[in-house]
Amino acid sequence: MTKEIKGVITALVTPFQRGEVDYASFRRLIRAQLDQGVDGFVVNGTTGESPCLNFNETEKLFEVAQHEVAGAVPLIIGTGSNSTRKTVEFTRAANAWRPDAVLVVVPYYNRPPQRGMVAHFTEVAAASDAPVLLYNVPSRTVASLEPATVATLSADPNIIGLKDATGDLAGLDTLRASVPPEFTLLSGDDGSCVDFAARGGKGVIAVASHVIGREMKRALQEAQANDPDAGAEYTKKFSALLRALYLEPNPIAVKMALYWMGLIASPELRAPLVTLDERHHEELRACLRKLAKI
């Protein structure tokens, strides 16, 4: 791993316009995020609507991100699927783009047992030159990595961390006790990420950082500096926004927010996702106005 993966890492949306990827908006968004001081990016993650992107689009998005970032922060590429063979093939292909890490989600729909997950991630790690970050998001995959399975996988020298989107802070304590100290534990839950950092997490792969990147970074730094009020202050300031960003499945609301903020040219998503229902517009607008984002 050439760069340390920590802090606030934005899981970038993929802007679309008239059915095609809007690379101009993507560039503008990355520049705005760098201005916010974020510490890295994920391309082709769930927030980027990865199931609806083709290989050529993903390659171009990563190329654009590399050009804009120019080595300043780590770039992670999502390569996971519910097929081990397809994940291995995509991971090998993506390695040619020289990412700082690959993010590999728990196989969805198939619901593999824990020993199947060990086999899946071990095979992917063996095929990858880039280090592997596990991604546990049971709200989307149904199957969930158990702490004992993460501990087993953490012994693989090419599996260097976990994005944990469960929001289970007690589980984090179990995880920390069962993995090597250098294993990178990242939150994948915007609401609990500051408390996660206070308990020893190294950062967050976030959605809300599209809107409050600088503020999230400050809150995480305060938590890691043992400020006892960091989590409560973060919740007080941003709970309404965090609720609004998940009024409908991600990334529906954050794309609308970015459109209203003038960072992307359209709030368009790819089917089967659709733009934010009008009945939610005022709640999201009110949050953005209160935070002086629009």
Which has the minimum average pLDDT: 149-158, 174-183, 202-211, 263-272? 174-183
The CATH classification number of 7-225 equals 3.20.20.70
pLDDT of residue 8: 98
pLDDT of residue 2: 63
Instruction: Give residue-wise pLDDT tens across range 189-237.
Output: 999 999 999 999 999 999 999 999 999 999 999 999 999 999 999 999 9
pLDDT-derived band at 42 (thresholds 50, 70, 90) equals very high
> Active site residue: 3, 23, 109, 135, which one?
135
Instruction: Give residue-wise pLDDT tens across range 11-32.
Output: 999 999 999 999 999 999 999 9
Given a cut of 70, whether residue 1 has pLDDT beyond it is no
What are the extents of the domains in the chain? 7-225
In angstroms, rounded to a whole number, what is the distance separating the alpha carbons of residues 294 and 259?
Answer: 10
> Active site residue: 6, 23, 60, 163, which one?
163
In angstroms, rounded to a whole number, what is the distance separating the alpha carbons of residues 198 and 186?
Answer: 12
Work out the mean pLDDT of the chain and round it to a whole number.
97
Average pLDDT (277-281) is 98
| 163 belongs to the catalytic site | yes
| 290 belongs to the catalytic site | no
- The answer to whether the beta carbons of residues 102 and 91 sit under 8 Å apart is yes
pTM for the model: 0.97
Q: What are the residues whose beta carbons fall under 8 Å from the beta carbon of 95, sequence distance 6 or more?
A: 102, 128, 129, 130
